[in-house]
Amino acid sequence: MGMPLELNTMIVTKGREERIENNFFKLEKDEYRLYPMHIPLEVKNSISGEIRGIAEIYKLEWSDQKTLIYFELKSLESTN
């Protein structure tokens, strides 16, 4: 009778983030995941991919075995 959860230290979008407005995004992930709030985290498209930017999560929701995070992109990696 425990609750499985996953401790995450970066935001892996797999291209499924939705822009809310400007630099604000939301992203739904399967299962319950624990992310640090209000702390700069690397944003990647895939686990082994390159860093696309740095973001901070300002809202997190758990329900229906899903995690919904809301984050603000604070900086973008230049890629050229």
List residues binding its own copies (CB under 8 A).
1-10, 12, 32-34, 36-39, 41, 47, 58-63, 70
CB of 48 to its own copies, least distance (A): 9
CB of 1 to its own copies, least distance (A): 5
Residue 54 near residue 74, CB atoms below 8 Å: yes
How far apart CA 13 and CA 11 sit, in angstroms, is 6
The residues that bridge with 80 in the sheet, in sequence order, are: none
Between 33 and 52, name the residue whose CB sits nearer to its own copies.
Answer: 33
CB of 78 to its own copies, least distance (A): 19
Between 69 and 73, name the residue whose CB sits nearer to its own copies.
Answer: 69
Between 9 and 75, name the residue whose CB sits nearer to its own copies.
Answer: 9
Q: C-alpha distances in angstroms, 8 versus 22, 41, 47, 70?
A: 25, 10, 11, 14
Closest to 53 in 3D by CA, of 20, 25, 28: 25
